[in-house]
Amino acid sequence: MARITAGVTTSHVPAIGAAIDLGKTQQEYWAPLFKGYEYSKRWIGEQKPDVILLVYNDHASAFSMELMPTFAIGTGEKFQPADEGWGPRPVPEVVGHPELAAHIAQSVIQQDFDLTLVNRMDVDHGLTVPLSLMFGQPGAWPCKVIPIAVNVVLYPPPSGRRCYELGKALRRAVDSFDGDLNVQVWGTGGMSHQLQGPRAGLINREFDNDFLERLVNDPEGLSQMPHVEYMREAGSEGIELVMWLVMRGALDDKVTEKHRFYHVPASNTAVGHLILENS
């Protein structure tokens, strides 16, 4: 049987990817951030997941204002790093797991979540920066990755509640897959940040730390938070945090917190990171 063993959350700031690609991780500005991921790299080296369900958002790289699925699943064999204006990041291609992805699509759609099926797409910093933070710079990513894209860039995004329920549907899908796989679910993006308008640069430490705490210990309650509260408290791009609830919904009600890290700033963003294990 396939089983979900653990969940990871992390921010996906593109400048973090550039710092890794350009060999700047030990610079004064960046070193404290990367220190927060040292434990994580050791941990994932021991865990050796077979597949990651990587919940992320596309930033108009594969999708666009012309076509924006609310929830999409990458069912293809491979996904290439997207060119976001500076050429594709020099990171390995992402290898999917079409068999598990097809099973998840079947199961989750039959549970009334209408996922868009994507056989071909490029993946942007929303997906590749979390992989770089957790795995460093290997010649090939050490496991398969199924991209699960959530729209948080074109209004209206799905509610936190809906994302939490999607996580539960993913859990049932993985549990019913006939194959011995160690599966992790990652929720990415966030934490507080606003990249535009008069409030650009907004950071809210109190909100972020409360969110980290509630994600671990009160996910039901947290899932009720309305959009307007994310926008007001965490900024317009803080809405990316709804993706963390997909991860949390896929885990047990009670989890073991292995690691927590919070760092301000990375570029314009508050970086938050959690590692949670199912018991």
Torsion on CA atoms 38, 39, 43, 44, rounded to nearest 10: -30
Closer to ligand DHB by CB, 171 or 193: give it. Answer: 193
Contact pick of 89, 193, 248, 273 for ligand DHB (by CB under 6 A): 193
- Annotated catalytic residue within 59, 103, 193, 263: 193
Question: Is residue 267 involved in binding ligand DHB (CB under 6 A)?
Answer: yes
Contact pick of 58, 165, 233, 237 for ligand DHB (by CB under 6 A): 237
> How many residues does this entry show for the chain?
279
Question: Is residue 132 involved in binding ligand DHB (CB under 6 A)?
Answer: no
3-class DSSP state of 242: helix
Closer to ligand DHB by CB, 107 or 151: give it. Answer: 151
Cβ(242)–Cβ(160) below 8 Å: yes
Contact pick of 2, 4, 6, 13 for ligand DHB (by CB under 6 A): 13
Cβ(245)–Cβ(160) below 8 Å: yes
Cβ(209)–Cβ(270) below 8 Å: no
How many other β-carbons are positioned within 10 Å of the β-carbon of residue 37?
23
Site string for ligand DHB, 39-68 (x = CB under 6 A): --------------------x---------
Question: Is residue 14 involved in binding ligand DHB (CB under 6 A)?
Answer: yes
Question: Is residue 122 involved in binding ligand DHB (CB under 6 A)?
Answer: no
Cβ(33)–Cβ(271) below 8 Å: yes
Torsion on CA atoms 263, 55, 276, 190, rounded to nearest 10: 20
Closer to ligand DHB by CB, 32 or 45: give it. Answer: 32
3-class DSSP state of 87: coil
Min. distance of Cβ 89 from ligand DHB in angstroms? 14
Active-site annotation holds for 193: yes
- Residue 187's identity, in one-letter code, is G
Closer to ligand DHB by CB, 25 or 267: give it. Answer: 267
Active-site annotation holds for 125: yes
Cβ within 8 Å of residue 214, ≥6 positions away: 221, 222
Rg (CA), the chain: 17
Site size with ligand DHB, rule: CB under 6 A: 11
- Annotated catalytic residue within 125, 227, 259, 263: 125
Annotated catalytic sites, by residue? Answer: 125, 193
Q: Which residues bind ligand DHB (CB under 6 A)?
A: 12-15, 59, 193, 195, 237, 267-269
